[in-house]
Amino acid sequence: MSSRRLFAASVIAAAYAFLPAAARADVLLTPFVGGNFGGSASAPLADLAGDPSRTTFGGSVAFMSNGIFGLEADLGYTPRFFGRDLDVGNVPIDIVRNNVLTAMVNLTAGVPLESHNGTGIRPYAVGGIGVIRQQFDVVGGLASYDANDIGFDVGGGVQIFVSRNVGIRGDVRHFRTLGGNTVIDLLDLQPGAFNFTRATVGVTFRY
C-alpha cells in the first residue's frame, strides 16, 4: 500500500474512532428466554397435555442506525409447545416430537433515552415477516404434522442499558401464520390460523 493510501486509511480510522456513539451503527446481540401464552398455546390440545411446558429460548441480532431505526433477525424455539404427552379418556398417549420454531426478519424503531456514557433506556416497537414451523408426532404414527408457514410478528419492549455495551431487554411479541393448517386443525380441536404471544427477557450486548 502506498504511503498516500496508508495515510488516508489512517485518517478514516481515526475519524471513526472519534465519532460520537450516537452517529455510529450499533450491533445489538440478545440471547433470551421466556414463555408462550394465548392463542394456540392455550388451545384444548395444550390443556390435554400431561406435562405442558411452553418455555422458549433463542436470540436476535439487530443492526441499528443512531439507535432509532434498525433491521433485526430473530430466532425462537419452543421444544415442547404442546406438552410432553396427552391424556385422552384416561389413556396416556406419548408425543415424541413437538416443537415450534420462528425465524423472523423485522424492522424496529425506538427512542434512545441515554446519557453520554451510553446508559439509559430504549423503548421500541418491532414487526416483520418470516417462517413459523410446527412439528408434531404421536408415538405409533397416530398423528403426524410438519408445516412451514409464512407468518408475521408484531410487538415491542424496552432495553435498559447499565453500561455502554451491556443491557437488559424485556420483550413481548405476537406471532401468527398468514395461512395454512395447524396441529389444532389436524385434531379438530380448534379452527383458525396458528398464533401465540411470546414474552421474553434477555441480556443485550452492544457492539
In single-letter form, the type of residue at position 138 comes to V
Q: How many domains does the chain have?
A: 1
Residue 17 lies in a domain: no
Q: What is the pLDDT of residues 169-192, one digit of tens each?
A: 999 999 998 876 555 554 443 445
Let me know if residue 128 belongs to a domain: yes
Average pLDDT, the chain: 79
* pLDDT at residue 12 in the model: 43
Residue 76: which CATH number? 2.40.160.20
- pLDDT-derived band of residue 18, with 50, 70 and 90 as boundaries? very low
Instruction: Give the contacts of 30 (CB within 8 A, at least 6 positions apart).
Output: 59, 60, 61, 62, 169, 202, 203, 204, 205
Q: Is 130 helix (H, G, I), strand (E, B) or coil?
A: strand
- The answer to whether 112 and 67 have CB atoms below 8 angstroms apart is yes
Domain that holds residue 27: 22-206
**Residue 57: what pLDDT?**
96
The answer to the question of residue 88 being in a domain is yes
Domain membership of residue 173 (yes or no) is yes
The Cα–Cα gap between 61 and 29 comes to 5
DSSP string, 10-46: HHHHHHHHTS-GGGSEEEEEEEEEEEEESGGGGSHHH
User: Does residue 62 or residue 82 have the better pLDDT?
Assistant: 62
| DSSP assignment letter at 184 | H
In a domain, residue 7? The reply is no
Task: Scan for cell 411470546, then name that residue.
Answer: 198
pTM attached to this predicted model: 0.78
10 in a structural domain: no
Q: Is residue 8 part of a domain?
A: no
Q: Is residue 127, in this structure, part of any structural domain at all?
A: yes
Cα-flanking dihedrals φ and ψ of residue 18, to 5°? -100, 5
